[in-house]
Amino acid sequence: MAPNDERDELRVDEYGAENIQVLEGLEAVRKRPGMYIGSTGEQGLHHLVYEIVDNAIDEALAGHCDHIEVEILEGDVIRVTDNGRGIPIGIQPQTGKPALEVVYTVLHAGGKFGGGGYKVSGGLHGVGASVVNALSEWVEVEVCTDGRRVMMAFRRGEVTKKLTELGSTDRHGTTVTFKPDPEIFRDTTVYNYDTLLTRMREQAFLNAGLRITLTDSRSDSPTAGESQSMCYEGGVASFVEYLNTNKTVVHPTPIYVSGEVKEKNPHGVEEMKYVEIALQYNDGYNETLISFANNIHTPDGGTHEAGFKAALTRVLNAYGKKYNILKDEEKLSGEDTREGLCAIVSVKLEEPQFEGQTKSKLGNTEMRTLVDNILSDKLETYLEENPAVARTILDKALSASRAREAARKARESIRRKTALGGAAMPDKLRDCNINDPELTEIYIVEGDSAGGSATQGRDSAFQAILPLWGKMLNVEKARADKVYGNDKLQPVITALGAGIGDEFDLSKLRYHKVIIMADADVDGAHIRTLLLTFFFRFMRPLIEQGYVYAAVPPLYKLTRGKNTRVAYSDPERDRISAEMRADNPNARVEISRYKGLGEMNPEELWETTMDPRTRTLKRIQLDDAIRADAVFNVLMGEKVEPRKDFIESRARYAVNLDY
């Protein structure tokens, strides 16, 4: 079965003004935007685009759209055009207003509440269009439908131009143009082309045969003029191949399975549920499992992921026992069966139940059983028909199991030594006096010299210091057993106290600020990257929950007489230098470049880098796990060529290499 064989099953032809259902008015969106788009930062800014694109994709799911164009215009104005049916423009019965106006001005209004407009939809709550309208400085919507071309205009959620006829047309579809409101998005209103590209590519993969084109038409953008048109007939199987691009796969073709069921809901109405899964193993140690429900990424998983994991573990164990690949009491854990796995789980259903407005987790209990049944049945058949691939997968899982056992023994050995030796913490750790994790922070410092200065300069009440020396293990190329045995990483694991991998427990974390403090040079950047790779691969919740920071040490020391100041960048150096010479333009200001943290005395280190009143910390955030996974793999993985290409393609952006 091809990935898009079932598209006709999703088609519903009846779609008019009577399909638009009104649930409640548009209230409090501008007052509490985070409830609807997650945040008013960069993430929320891009979410506006996703909401409009999701509406167009719903048209594709219904079988009426095969091309969506997204363009970033001058001034970071967004234009989204689709060739779907066009938003209905007739009078909506409940309000007596044009359906187009209702969709853009009333919260929870749309064709996704059982009105027959859509069978399957990502826009579950019907808030997309109205929320974008409420949070935009202005919005213009042009609709081509039933031979008519009309438009409406809005400003901060209010109608500024009523439904206006623009003439006749033989086209069909909707064009939405909007400018995010700087009163709402105060941090930034600048769109990142790569962020949008990642999302658009993802949606093109999930909707086989749908073409999505993204263009950056801004003249002042680093990506000015760039454009990509994406269409993947292979669907989620192509998605898996893409994710494994820079990895060495252990079987050449992804395993693809799909299935659907039609069953009656508690109200006696027949509903369709559809599942498609693609998976492929690579020779790495990391798991990449990405799930979607109605094309909405579910980063926190849910019932569909649970069904996938249960079926995969059970089927591989059964196959291993049947053919004596697993001996005696050997049994693979779920972690073993997913080492090196790259998988996409995509489900579509008429009544999805998401947890939270941002739809991060699927809650429909029946989807666990459905995914489990479909994967179990078809994966069993695949393994029987492809014994060479089956053996390769089982051998890899067995290798992972033995490594897991080695990691367990290494962990137990460390625990025994700790218990017998009576020294629970690393020798080099200089702990703080307060025990409350919410009030404490730990500086992981590059080098013993800097560690000594930090220890002397710190506030010992709440600041702990852990010096590291030399380059640590690159965990992108290592399993957990190697991590536990590493003399550079083991002190970090012990000091933080929360474990690693599947055993990681955020509630046991001993400090709620984990601060990486390294020199502002290439070596320091390498240390930061190695530590971040470790945190991302083995302590990901640490980053996801915002506990990891990077300290920003000064680059320059400026002295005029007895007056001394520091600068953190070249422009700041020049500005401070001018300020120090303001009363005497010919005065000499001595400028010295800090070579490293170790040459700063304790007082300098405290005042510039550690004092909460004056320091600068950069919180490490994980906005896109898929992109982060790919970047870590490219930059820290085995293959040199992708790393070289990555660096060369981005060299023009490296205006200032100082941290």
Domain boundaries along the sequence of the chain = 7-231, 237-405, 423-553+618-653
3-class DSSP state for residue 319?
A: helix
For residues 215 and 227, what is the distance between their CA atoms, to the nearest angstrom? Answer: 4
pLDDT reported for residue 213? 98
Which range, 115-119, 194-198, 444-448, 581-585, is most confident?
A: 194-198
Q: Which residue has the tokens 């359906």?
A: 99
pLDDT reported for residue 483? 82
For residues 32 and 36, what is the distance between their CA atoms, to the nearest angstrom? Answer: 8
pLDDT reported for residue 657? 45
| CATH architecture assigned to 237-405 | 2-Layer Sandwich (3.30)
Residue with the larger pLDDT of the pair 81 and 352:
81
Q: Which fold has domain 423-553+618-653?
A: Rossmann fold (3.40.50)
Which pLDDT band holds residue 652 (cuts at 50, 70, 90)?
Answer: low
pLDDT reported for residue 458? 96
Active site residue ranges: 446, 519, 521, 523
pLDDT digits (tens, 9 = 90+) for 456-499: 999 999 999 999 876 678 887 777 778 877 888 889 999 999 98
Neighbours of 287 (CB within 10 A): 16
pLDDT reported for residue 6? 40
Which pLDDT band holds residue 147 (cuts at 50, 70, 90)?
Answer: very high
CA distances to 240, 280, 306, 335 from 343, rounded to whole Å, are 6, 6, 13, 14
pLDDT of 21 > 80? The answer is: no
The pair of structure tokens assigned to 542 is 């640490």
Beta-carbon contacts of residue 546 (< 8 Å; ≥ 6 apart) = 619, 621
For residues 33 and 589, what is the distance between their CA atoms, to the nearest angstrom? Answer: 48
pLDDT of 365 > 60? The answer is: yes
The pair of structure tokens assigned to 102 is 């209702």
Q: Which residue has the tokens 């290592």?
A: 478
Mean pLDDT of the 76-92 span: 95
For residues 47 and 555, what is the distance between their CA atoms, to the nearest angstrom? Answer: 36
Residue with the larger pLDDT of the pair 143 and 562:
143
Which range, 234-238, 291-295, 530-534, is most confident?
A: 234-238
Determine the angle formed by the axes of helices 42-61 and 193-206, rounding to 10 degrees: 30
Strand-strand pairing, 513-517 and 548-551: parallel
- For the chain, the residue count is 659
Mean pLDDT of the 507-530 span: 89
pLDDT reported for residue 125? 37
The edge-to-edge listing of strands for the beta sheet with 270-281 is 255-264, 270-281, 341-349, 288-293, 296-297
Strand-strand pairing, 77-82 and 173-180: antiparallel
CATH of domain 7-231: 3.30.565.10
For residues 160 and 178, what is the distance between their CA atoms, to the nearest angstrom? Answer: 14
For residues 292 and 305, what is the distance between their CA atoms, to the nearest angstrom? Answer: 9
CA distances to 484, 542, 550 from 494, rounded to whole Å, are 10, 15, 20
For residues 577 and 571, what is the distance between their CA atoms, to the nearest angstrom? Answer: 10
pLDDT reported for residue 481? 77
Model confidence pTM above 0.85: no
For residues 650 and 580, what is the distance between their CA atoms, to the nearest angstrom? Answer: 36
CA-wise closest residue to 210 among 60, 373, 366, 46: 60
pLDDT of 394 > 60? The answer is: yes
pLDDT reported for residue 146? 92
For residues 298 and 346, what is the distance between their CA atoms, to the nearest angstrom? Answer: 10
Which pLDDT band holds residue 27 (cuts at 50, 70, 90)?
Answer: low
For residues 649 and 628, what is the distance between their CA atoms, to the nearest angstrom? Answer: 17
Q: Which residue has the tokens 């490219």?
A: 634
